[in-house]
Structure 1
């Protein structure tokens, strides 16, 4: 499937994908697992390209109304940043009550889900695809989250943390707020799906007749709202025998063979009086053209972040391959070590991003991340509110540029 193809960690690969975007086909087929999706999410998450670049390139080939599905989906990503900016770490907690109290949900993701042996084909295929490719079609993400939260009664945060860790495009805002949208803690109702929905949008080997999903939405809604749902059946409790799919280990530090180290004792002297541009994993683009002559470009992995949010080796390698193109010198360092190494620099700059803002603010001037939509200052609790304000008075997508 197109969305599961290997993703080369290069800006040129992202630009090639943008050139292949077919807006009409995307709008018509994007919900199908074999639909004409863009495959751009890892490149956007890690800052190899921006939303503005995506839309500008597409519009060179054909005009689009601002209400086009492709523009709409670009808006979701910017809305999640809007919500994260206003809620801060609140995105890691339920924004409001869901169908059941938080305490009614289990705190841990069960082993049968982690090992792709629930006996529900759509769930097991989704997990296997996730581990094998580091990516997953958005519709499959929604199905997986809905099953975890509403049929297995596992707290959304346990599922969200696990999925974010294994996704090549794992973004805490997009991922965790999407899980809250599914859970009903960030939306007005829980997101549910059944076997008929899977049969409509997924290939045959994902279809799940005869499983817990093979019932009406009314029955599924009752299960989602009933804290006493029985867990004795194989479909629910995961008591299905079968070969376990191993979960890729998560690493809080880069693989040793990447050769990344903390700055040495002489780093502060080498940087003294110099301008420094810091490249972090969410802005893997070339430095801006206004850097001073002789400015140093340094790639950066902050230990505190990766200790809290580890990655599988495949994501480390993908990100570092992209980072090496723009920053041959790369550090893995804690906040204190970074502060010491940069203490004598004349000026330190980087790109703002909520994954790293808190730890970079004390040492660097943070340039605002590029945006596509007009700023919406007032906090919007829903995408529809934000979209209405962000596109008010606009008719053509080119007006966003």
Structure 2
């Protein structure tokens, strides 16, 4: 069973165990040598450049290695989020059916993991128990819900996000759109053969609704017909509760101006849980903040709240939960405030917060690329070796 202690030591241990060769050969299998780094990447214990640097120094992998390529997807989704903003929460274009053909309610047998399709029920129970799913399992659940149960991708994406330890808004929304074909050129489909190829026996799903040919799967995806709901039965699991506010035992308070009055402040937020930068003033005050705007729109279950909250507790006794206005009003009493930029942060410009750029491996593109392949070509122009990205040359000063 997956476990993710919310500590830098655990993140580093995961990184130390990554084998790029084994990853490339077995990543598609549910028991393959995947990295299990995603919760630590999402929450800023590690960055994509950190992983790339480790792989270069230890294994001398190239920029076209499968592991670097897959890390590129994370940065590509951030690229789209940067350019499209909240637009990633809407269908980028029409999928195989109009949006109106899909339900806005998640079926009860899906929510309670009692569909009697083993691959779906096993995946959902694992999601609820651990907060983590292998990428293939996520794709299978998404494809089943969207294409066979005809649930709108956004409804299901919001449900899954609430239970993921590694839930990243951009990766989650755009990954579901890739499956739904509202963010790709064709739907992602699978069947019982796919499951048997990549998953252990407990996941196998012969004699169920997915035990059909790919051709029939494609017909079903393009039809308004749905697989019938199974009545809630003895196999049902309770969905973990989700919360828009932190559990009381984590000790969050409203923003407190006296915590920071006259001080240099380093602001920790859920997407930057690494140790404090070494170049901060010796007397810096660390304050951890969870912004109400985000968790009201995207609530978390207790597992994720504790993952974030326990790390914040290890970093600082000052843990705030409040709106952006409340946080900025308290921070106005500080001498200076710094943090790392993230696309899920509210606008902090009014508080004169100094935003350090989020770590990025690949270069920024001024225009959005509508496919990963186009983006990949652009960001790899004139890049022959991963060393060029791990040790980027400083920008040349403008000619006088």
TM-score by length of structure 1 reads 0.94
Q: Does 1:361 align with 2:358?
A: no
Distance 1:293 1:167 in 2: 36
What per-residue deviation string (whole Å, max 9, x for no partner) do you get for residues 125-177 of structure 1? 00000001010000000000000000000000011000111000001000010
Confirm or deny that 1:194 pairs with 2:191.
Answer: yes
Report if aligned partners of 1:51, 1:372 keep a CA contact under 8 Å in 2.
yes
Equivalent residue, structure 2, for 1:139: 136
Structure 2 counterpart SS, 1:61: helix
Going from structure 1 to structure 2, the CA distance change for 1:240 and 1:204 (only over 3 Å counts) comes to farther
- Asked whether 1:288 is paired with 2:299, we answer no
Match of 1:350 in 2: 339
Is 1:37 aligned to residue 29 of structure 2? no
Measure, in 1, the Cα distance between the counterparts of 2:365 and 2:255: 40
**Range 144-153 or range 338-347, more displaced:** 338-347
Cα distance change, pair 141–309 in 1 and its aligned pair in 2 (3 A): same
In the alignment, which residue of structure 1 is the partner of 2:396?
none
Q: Is 1:225 aligned to 2:222, yes or no?
A: yes
Name structure 1 gaps, 5 residues minimum.
none
Structure-2-length-normalised TM-score: 0.94
Separation (CA, whole Å) in 2 of partners of 1:117 and 1:8: 29
Distance 1:133 1:230 in 2: 29
Q: Contact 1:280 / 1:299 at 8 angstroms: preserved in 2?
A: yes
Contact residue 96 and residue 221 of structure 2 kept, 8 A:
yes
For residues 224-254 of structure 1, the C-alpha deviation after alignment (integer angstroms, 9 at most, x for no partner) is: 1111x154xxxx4234733211100001111
Is 1:279 matched with 2:296? Answer: no
1:293 deviation in Å? 3.9
1:396 matched to which residue of 2? 385
Q: What are the superposed Cα offsets for residues 372-400 of structure 1, whole Å, 9 maximum, x if unpaired?
A: 11222221011111111111232322222
Shift of 1:324: 2.3
Aligned position for 1:376: 365
1:213: Cα distance to partner?
0.9
Q: Paired residues, what number?
A: 389
- 2:11 corresponds to 1:14: yes
| Counterparts of 2:381 and 2:162, CA distance in 1 | 36
Alpha-carbon distance between aligned partners in 2 of 1:56 and 1:308, rounded to the nearest angstrom = 35
- The CA distance in 2 between the partners of 1:187 and 1:172, in whole Å, is 18
Task: Please identify, of 238-247 and 119-128, the stretch whose mean Cα deviation from structure 2 is larger.
Answer: 238-247
Shift >4 Å, 4+ stretches: none
Cα offset for 1:105? 0.2
Shift of 1:295: 2.1
CA RMSD of aligned residues (A): 1.4
Whether the aligned pair in 2 keeps the contact of 1:19 and 1:58 (CA below 8 Å) is no
Contact 2:8 2:275 in 1 (8 A): no
State how 1:93-132 maps to structure 2 within 5 Å: 93-132=90-129
Q: Deviations over 1:193-241 (max 9, x none)?
A: 01100000000010011111111111111111111x154xxxx423473
Mapped partners of 2:100, 2:186: distance in 1: 18
Matched, 1:255 2:243: no
- The answer to whether the Cα contact below 8 Å between 1:277 and 1:298 also exists between their aligned partners in 2 is yes
Q: Which moved more, 1:305-314 or 1:127-136?
A: 305-314
Q: Does 1:314 find its partner at 2:303?
A: yes
